Each structure stands twice: as structure tokens, then as C-alpha cells.
Amino acid sequence: MKPASEEAIIIGISGPSSSGKTTLARLLQRVFYGVHLKLKDQPLNTFIIHEDDFYFPDDQIPYTTTRSGARIQDWDTASAIDIPFLSQALHYVRKEGSLPPRLRSKEDQNGQTSSGVSEELVQELRGVVGTRLHETRKCNEKTIAFLEGFLLFAPPPSESKKEEHVLRSVHDSIDLHLFLPAAYELVKARREGRSGYVTIGAAPEPPVDTGDGEHGKTRTEVDLDAEDDRPPQNFWVDPPGYVDDVVWPRYVTDHAWLLVAEDEDGDKKGSQDMTEADLVRRVGGGTRARTDVGVEVAPGCGNAGMDVILRWAVDLILGYYLDRTSV
């Protein structure tokens, strides 16, 4: 458990593309925002951090070669994310209880779909949260930040290879880790049904002499108080076959430590030493995940409605928050 002396707690929401991460984050913000912690006390502040806001500019996104030999940009690798920027931003949020001035979100310019959750349920859960929080004896953190993204979690240090996992600093900045599994068929249908994504900067022609997984430009320090000086916005549209060539294999490979085969127990270690093709075959629909690595897995194996997932998440967050305020 993180020290109870910081200004904010961070709830991490991860899962494959189109699994409902952004939808859940927005619903949770509606449930928790402005709820009074105690009578005559200040209201709870909440905001959302989108991992997609930490992509490198388009001309720094690495390329990969598909099975057909095509060279395309790979937006689903950790090398496409400015992880030092993300990690430093999370540290700022924990310390200051607010977003750094440098961070301006482009995510809300992407298309939104209906959550499938009624306003009545949102108000019901707000009432539950308000009642429970009024009972707290002290409230050190008056801000909850909901971080949503497709690559946020790292395997336990005991299961990592000798070098530190690329997402370790991000994972360790998160207080509560929520994972939303989704079946391959659903991910494919939803992703291919999207019109595209707002990005930053213009994409160049693919390089000739770089290998797969080439890292984007990295940096060690970011001036979080400066104005956002990133390039103008652009728009990315998935090329044909992108889900099968990039999105799903990357997701399975990056979460091999967390996903288990459909006929295995939820506490069996994932397989990180298999080939990409073998991993994809092993996880099948991709809806089973381990329950012994400090990651809370949503109920329903990817089949639960958002109303069920929202209730589950609110209960976990409330429990975690109240546990912190009782120490």
C-alpha cells in the first residue's frame, strides 16, 4: 500500500483495445466527482488521465513488418509511448493532486459510444459513495485520478527478467490495478468499427533500414509546468488487417504474464517465453487472467455488462479508499 500522505490516489484501468477502459473511467468520474467527504468538508475531486495522450508524435512511432511484408506503424507497442513523460506525470499527480499544466488531452476528440449504463444507476452509486465517505474519520487524499490505457501494468518483480520491466515505474505509481478482459472477437469488431484516432504530428514515409520494434525517441526529464509544445494534431486510421497483424498479437505478448489459457486456473503463471504465434493460440479468446499478481480482474470473463463492471469497480475503489483513511 502506498503512503497515505500524498495528495491523490491513482486508479489504473487497463485491458485490450476496445475493452471499455475509457467508458469505465468516464463513468467512475461521474460517480465519484463532487461527492462530499464529510458534512461541511470539501468535495472529492476526480479527473481522467488517458495513456493515449502520451503517444510520441506520429513521425516517432516505430514501424513493424506484417506477415504480408507490409511496413506499417505500430501504435500498440510500448515503444510508441513516451513512458518517462507518463511516469513523471503520474508522480506529479500524486504529489500535487492535479494534472500537470503541460498535459493537454486530445482523447476526448475521439468518437464516443453509449456506455449502456443508466443515469439512475450512476445516481444510485453516487448515493452509496456519498454515504460511505461521510463515515470516514479522516481524508488525506481528496483527489482520485482514473488512469486508463492499454499498457499500464508490469509483472511481479520476481517474474520479470533481469532488466527492469519497461512499465515498472508506471505500474508502481498506480494504487489500485483494474483489468478489463475482452474476447478477441469483440476487440476485432469494435476496433474495426471505429473511424480512427486523433494523433499529433504528421507521419513520414516508412523507414527502409529499421527493424521491428524500433524504439521511439525517449527522454529522461520533462518540464511538466511548461506549455504543451507538441506538434499539431493529425488522424490515424487502422490499415486493413491491423487488428490481426498488430493489435491482438501485441496485446497477448505484452500480457503473457497475466493471461492464462481458457482451460487453466486463474492462479497459474503466464507463459512469457513462447513465440507470439504460440501465445496467441494458447490464450484463445483471451478472456482469462491470473488472480494472484495484485491485479483485480473484472467479473464475467469479458462478457459482463458495463453496469456490472461499474458496480464492481465502485466497490473496489470505495474499499481501497476507506482502508487508506482508516490508517
Tens-digit pLDDT string for the chain (327 aa) = 444 458 899 999 999 998 999 999 999 999 999 887 665 567 889 999 999 999 998 889 999 998 888 899 999 999 999 999 999 999 999 999 999 988 776 555 544 567 789 999 999 999 999 888 877 656 666 899 999 999 999 999 988 766 789 999 999 999 999 999 999 999 999 888 876 655 555 555 555 544 454 444 455 677 776 666 555 556 678 888 999 999 999 999 999 999 998 666 555 555 656 888 899 999 999 999 999 999 999 999 889 999 999 999 999 999 999 888 665
What is the chain's alpha carbon radius of gyration, rounded to the nearest angstrom?
20
Q: Positive or negative CA dihedral for 210, 239, 283, 216?
A: positive
**Cβ atoms within 10 Å of 40's Cβ, excluding its own:** 5
Strand, helix or coil at 193? Answer: coil
d(CA 260, CA 264): 6
Strands, DSSP E only, in 15-122? 45-50, 63-65, 71-73
What predicted TM-score, i.e. pTM, was given to this entire model? 0.85
Q: How far is CA 272 from CA 130, 250, 275, in A?
A: 43, 13, 9
Angle at 321 between CA 39 and CA 22, to 5 degrees: 105
- CA-CA distance, 196 to 77, in Å (whole number)? 18
Matching CATH number, 10-217+227-238+298-325, of 3.40.50, 3.40.30, 3.30.420, 3.30.470 = 3.40.50
Q: What is the pLDDT of residue 15?
A: 96
Q: Are 180 and 309 in contact (CB under 8 A)?
A: yes
Check residue 212 and give its pLDDT. Answer: 52
pLDDT of residue 309: 97
Contact indicator for 286, 183 with CB cutoff of 8 Å: yes
Distance of alpha carbon 245 from alpha carbon 138, whole angstroms: 50
Q: Identify the pLDDT of residue 273.
A: 66
311: which 3 cell numbers? 458496480
Residue of 126, 99, 101, 97 whose CA lies nearest to 33:
126
Q: Is 182 strand, coil or helix?
A: coil
